[in-house]
Amino acid sequence: MSSFDLIVRGGSVATAVDVMRADIAVKDGKIAALGSNLGDAARIVDATGRIVTPGGVDSHCHIEQLSAMGVVNADTFETGTASAALGGTTTVIPFVAQHKGLDLATVAKDYHALAAKGAIIDYALHLIVTDPTDVLLTEQLPELVKAGHGSIKIFMTYDAMKVDDEQVLDILLKARELGALVCAHAENHGMIKWMVQRLLERGYTAPKYHAVSHPRGSEAEAFNRLITMSELIDQPVMIFHVSTEEGAATINAARARGVKVWAETCPQYLFLTAQDLDKPGTEGAKWCCSPPPRQARDIEALWAALERGDLQTITSDHAPFSYDEKGKLSAGPNPNFKQIPNGMPGLQARLPLLFDAMVSKGRMEITDFVRLTATAPAQIYNIADRKGSIAIGKDADLAIWDTEKEVTFTDETMADATGYTPYVGMTVKGWPTTVVRRGDVIVDDGKLTGTAGTGQFLPRTGGKAAAPTGKIAPEFDPALNFGAKLI
Ligand code: DUC
Ligand code: ZN
Ligand code: ZN
Dump the DSSP string for 162-194.
Answer: ---HHHHHHHHHHHHHHT-EEEEE---HHHHHH
CA of residue 151 to ligand 1 center, whole Å: 17
Q: What is the pLDDT of residue 196?
A: 98
Q: What is the CATH number of the domain that holds 132?
A: 3.20.20.140
CB 399 within 8 Å of CB 168: no
Residues whose CB is less than 8 angstroms from the CB of residue 439 and which lie 6 or more positions away in sequence, other chains included = 5, 6, 26, 27, 28, 29, 30, 396
Reference 376, options 219, 265, 257, 259; nearest CA is 265
Give, using CA atoms, the residue closest to atom 3 of ligand 1: 290
Ligand 1 atom with least separation from CA of 185: 3
- Cα–Cα distance measured from residue 21 to residue 484, given in angstroms and rounded to the nearest whole number: 60
CB 446 within 8 Å of CB 416: no
CA of residue 240 to ligand 2 center, whole Å: 6
Q: What is the pLDDT of residue 479?
A: 63
User: In this structure, is residue 303 part of a structural domain?
Assistant: yes
Query: Across residues 68-97, what is the average pLDDT?
Result: 95
**Ligand with the closest atom to the CA of 214:** 1
Residues with CB under 5 A from ligand 2 (ion): 185
pLDDT-derived band at 257 (thresholds 50, 70, 90) equals: very high
Please work out whether the CB of residue 62 comes within 6 Å of at least one atom of ligand 1.
yes
Q: What is the pLDDT of residue 100?
A: 83
**Which range (225-229, 235-239, 440-444, 472-476) has the least confidence?**
472-476
Query: Across residues 31-53, what is the average pLDDT?
Result: 98
Query: Which helix (H) or strand (E) segment is 472 a member of?
Result: none
The tally of domains found in the chain comes to: 1
Is 80 exceeded by the pLDDT of residue 481?
Answer: no
CA of residue 8 to ligand 3 center, whole Å: 35
User: In this structure, is residue 237 part of a structural domain?
Assistant: yes
Give, using CA atoms, the residue closest to atom 6 of ligand 1: 343
Q: What is the pLDDT of residue 70?
A: 81
What is the per-residue pLDDT across 446-458, written as a single tens digit (0 to 9) for each? 999 999 999 999 9
Is 90 exceeded by the pLDDT of residue 102?
Answer: no
Q: Phi/psi class of residue 284: alpha, beta or left (left: φ > 0; alpha: ψ in -120 to 50)?
A: alpha
pLDDT-derived band at 338 (thresholds 50, 70, 90) equals: very high
Q: What is the per-residue DSSP string for 226-267? A: HHHHHHHHT--EEE----SHHHHHHHHHHHHTT--EEEEE-H
Angle 365-369-371 from CA coordinates, rounded to 5°: 110
Helix, strand, coil shares, percent, the chain, to 5? 35, 20, 45
Q: How far is CA 381 from CA 229, 388, 411, in A?
A: 21, 11, 32
User: In this structure, is residue 417 part of a structural domain?
Assistant: no
Q: What is the domain extent for residue 263?
A: 56-377+459-466
CA of residue 166 to ligand 1 center, whole Å: 23
User: In this structure, is residue 261 part of a structural domain?
Assistant: yes
Ligand 1 probe mutation, 61, 241, 340, most atoms within 8 A of CB? 241
At 430, is the secondary structure helix, strand, or coil? Answer: strand
What is the per-residue pLDDT across 186-224, written as a single tens digit (0 to 9) for each? 999 999 999 999 999 999 999 999 999 999 999 999 999
Residues whose CB is less than 8 angstroms from the CB of residue 150 and which lie 6 or more positions away in sequence, other chains included = 124, 179, 180, 181, 381, 382, 460, 461, 462, 463, 466
Query: Across residues 275-292, what is the average pLDDT?
Result: 98
Whether the predicted model's global pTM rises above the 0.95 cut: yes
Residues whose CB is less than 8 angstroms from the CB of residue 317 and which lie 6 or more positions away in sequence, other chains included = 60, 61, 62, 240, 241, 266, 268, 289, 343, 346
Q: What is the pLDDT of residue 173?
A: 95
- Cα–Cα distance measured from residue 137 to residue 134, given in angstroms and rounded to the nearest whole number: 5
- Cα–Cα distance measured from residue 355 to residue 373, given in angstroms and rounded to the nearest whole number: 10
Dmax over CA atoms of the chain, in Å, equals 75
- Cα–Cα distance measured from residue 381 to residue 290, given in angstroms and rounded to the nearest whole number: 23
Query: Across residues 14-24, what is the average pLDDT?
Result: 98
Ligand 1 atom with least separation from CA of 62: 5
Please work out whether the CB of residue 185 comes within 6 Å of at least one atom of ligand 1.
yes
- Cα–Cα distance measured from residue 194 to residue 206, given in angstroms and rounded to the nearest whole number: 17
Reference 370, options 129, 51, 11, 25; nearest CA is 51
pLDDT-derived band at 247 (thresholds 50, 70, 90) equals: very high
Q: What is the pLDDT of residue 309?
A: 98
Instruction: Name residue 126's beta-bridge partners.
Output: 95
At 477, is the secondary structure helix, strand, or coil? Answer: coil
pLDDT-derived band at 484 (thresholds 50, 70, 90) equals: confident
Q: Determine whether 256 is exposed, middle or buried from the number of CB atoms within 10 Å of its CB (0-12, 13-18, 19+).
A: exposed
Enter the DSSP assignment of 51.
E
What is the per-residue pLDDT across 385-434, written as a single tens digit (0 to 9) for each? 999 999 999 999 999 999 999 999 999 989 999 999 999 999 999 999 99
User: In this structure, is residue 394 part of a structural domain?
Assistant: no
Enter the DSSP assignment of 349.
T
Q: What is the pLDDT of residue 474?
A: 60
Q: What is the pLDDT of residue 252?
A: 98
User: In this structure, is residue 30 part of a structural domain?
Assistant: no
Q: What is the pLDDT of residue 480?
A: 65
What is the per-residue pLDDT across 43-59, written as a single tens digit (0 to 9) for each? 999 999 999 999 999 99
Q: Amino acid identity, residue 89?
A: T
CA of residue 474 to ligand 1 center, whole Å: 33
User: In this structure, is residue 415 part of a structural domain?
Assistant: no
CA of residue 241 to ligand 2 center, whole Å: 7
Query: Across residues 291-302, what is the average pLDDT?
Result: 98
Please work out whether the CB of residue 370 comes within 6 Å of at least one atom of ligand 1.
no
User: In this structure, is residue 91 part of a structural domain?
Assistant: yes
Residues with CB under 5 A from ligand 3 (ion): 317
Please work out whether the CB of residue 73 comes within 6 Å of at least one atom of ligand 1.
no
Query: Across residues 251-255, what is the average pLDDT?
Result: 98
Please work out whether the CB of residue 192 comes within 6 Å of at least one atom of ligand 1.
no
Q: What is the pLDDT of residue 99?
A: 85
Order of strands, edge to edge, in the sheet holding 30-35?
A: 30-35, 23-27, 4-9, 41-46
- Cα–Cα distance measured from residue 154 to residue 167, given in angstroms and rounded to the nearest whole number: 10
Q: What are the helix and strand counts (H, E) for the chain?
A: 14, 21
